[in-house]
Amino acid sequence: MSMLMVGSVALDSIKTPFGDKKDILGGSAVYASVSASFYTDVKLVAVVGKDFPEEHVKFLKSRNINLDGLQINSGQTFRWSGYYEYDMNQAHTLDTKLNVLGTFNAQIPEKFRNSEYVLLANLDPELQLKVIEQLKAPKLIAMDTMNFWIENKRDALREVIKKVDVVLMNDAELRQFMETPNLPVAARRLLELGAKSVIIKKGEHGSLFFSKDDHFSAPSYPQEEFRDPTGAGDSFAGGFMGYLAKTNNVSKKNIRQAIILGSVMASFNVEDFSLSRLKRLAHHEIVERFQAIKRFSHFEEVQLVHQ
Ligand code: AMP
């Protein structure tokens, strides 16, 4: 099963303790599409400006990403700049220039409207709502967001959350949105708000899944190579949804496997800037890391007796 992806395509300027890069390929939909493309065919709906380099278009095509829904509008491509300090769990935004994203109409091509697996990567929640309205037969919709939209479009975000199956947020965003420092309480409040399930990404500390009748705690991978966390959340979301779409199965077991594959994709993505690491990622590396995480988090039943 292929999947539909809607989100931002960006030129990012990023500073981490390991480097300083200007106008590199980024954007929520780019990280998520490339990550998902390791599992399934991706149909991308997004917008760029006339300045968007052709080499990036070629790269996305080389990953078999269908770009029929990529609008090239007059104006500049969306730009985001930010920096990270030694605690790279926290992104600090320096500037957000919406440019062509500010007038993006989120029009889904007719032939994509039957998509069953849909990832609404980080984007204006009003556009996410517009996409949902155009879908004819969604089986699983997941959405991601960030503090920028929590601060600027809280009401629209609440509406999106009620309409999707999986909400992806990082720990700081969920605390901010639900106004509590306690993550299980925040997750419960989000479910009460109408979310069917939530995945809380905790950066280098793994992730948590909550639904009304299930909970899963996914471990992290002991990451030693770590240069740039940008796109970690999006590559997680792409791996997660890509696997569910490929298997066309949303059982509890599959969701757990998909969460681990999401973590695996994020763990590779942070090893280098932009899409550099995913560009040279081989399939066997994904399998090996998945198995390593399974080994590292396995433990046996214990028989405790009272003395
Ligand atoms: P992540 O690190 O996974 O949370 O996402 C990083 C990506 O999100 C970057 O490549 C940015 O281009 C993109 N981004 C930053 N701000 C926004 C925004 N307000 N809307 C959509 N995408 C954004």
Q: What is the pTM of this model?
A: 0.96
Which pLDDT does position 81 carry in this prediction?
97
Q: Is the CB of 125 under 6 A from ligand 1?
A: no
DSSP characters over the chain:
--EEEE---EEEEEEETTEEEEEEEE-HHHHHHHHHTTTS-EEEEEEEETTS-HHHHHHHHHTTEEEEEEEEESSPPEEEEEE--SSTTS-EEEEEE-GGGGG---PPPGGGTT-SEEEE-SS-HHHHHHHHHH-SS-SEEEEE--HHHHHH-HHHHHHHHHH-SEEEEEHHHHHHHHT-S-HHHHHHHHHHTT-SEEEEE-GGG-EEEEETTEEEEEPPP-----S--TTHHHHHHHHHHHHHHHHT---HHHHHHHHHHHHHHHHHHTTSSTTHHHHT--HHHHHHHHHHHHHHT----------
Which pLDDT does position 59 carry in this prediction?
98
Q: Is the CB of 238 under 6 A from ligand 1?
A: no
Residue position matching structure tokens 């009460």 = 192
Which pLDDT does position 89 carry in this prediction?
80
199-209 average pLDDT score: 94
Q: How many other C-beta atoms lie within 10 A of the C-beta of residue 53?
A: 13
Q: For 98-143, write each residue's pLDDT tens digit.
A: 999 999 999 999 999 999 999 999 999 999 999 999 999 999 999 9
Ligand 1 geometric centre to CA of 178 (Å): 21
Within a domain: residue 303?
A: no
Strand order in the sheet with 42-49: 65-73, 42-49, 3-6, 117-120, 140-144, 166-170, 197-201, 207-211, 214-218
Q: Is 72 exposed, middle or buried (0-12, 13-18, 19+ CB in 10 A)?
A: middle
Q: Is the CB of 262 under 6 A from ligand 1?
A: no
In this structure, the residue with its CA closest to atom 20 of ligand 1 is 123
Q: Is the CB of 12 under 6 A from ligand 1?
A: yes
Q: Is the CB of 144 under 6 A from ligand 1?
A: no
Residues 6+ apart with CB under 8 A from 245: 1, 2, 3, 36, 39, 40, 116, 117
Q: For 80-92, write each residue's pLDDT tens digit.
A: 999 999 888 888 9
Q: Is the pLDDT of residue 208 over 80?
A: yes
207-224 average pLDDT score: 94
Within a domain: residue 63?
A: no
Within a domain: residue 213?
A: yes
Least confident of 3-7, 83-87, 175-179: 83-87
Ligand 1 geometric centre to CA of 2 (Å): 23
**Radius of gyration for the alpha carbons in the chain, expressed in angstroms and rounded:** 18
- The enclosing domain of 285 has a CATH number of 3.40.1190.20
Within a domain: residue 9?
A: no
Q: Is the pLDDT of residue 304 over 90?
A: no
Q: Is the CB of 234 under 6 A from ligand 1?
A: yes
- Full residue range of the structural domain in which residue 252 is found: 27-41+103-296
Q: For the packed helices 28-36 and 54-62, what is the interaxial angle rounded to 10 degrees?
A: 30
In this structure, the residue with its CA closest to atom 1 of ligand 1 is 231
Within a domain: residue 97?
A: no
Within a domain: residue 262?
A: yes
Within a domain: residue 167?
A: yes
The per-residue pLDDT of the chain, averaged, comes to: 96
Two tokens, residue 113: 């409207």
Which pLDDT does position 152 carry in this prediction?
94
Mutate which of 88, 96, 122, 174 to test ligand 1's pocket (most atoms within 8 Å of Cβ)? 122
Total structural domains in the chain?
A: 1
Q: Give the count of alpha carbons within 13 A of 285, CB side only.
A: 13
Which pLDDT does position 165 carry in this prediction?
97
Q: Is the pLDDT of residue 220 over 90?
A: no
In this structure, the residue with its CA closest to atom 6 of ligand 1 is 231
Within a domain: residue 52?
A: no
* Percent residues over pLDDT 90 in the chain: 93
Q: How far is CA 159 from CA 110, 145, 156, 211, 301, in A?
A: 24, 13, 5, 18, 43
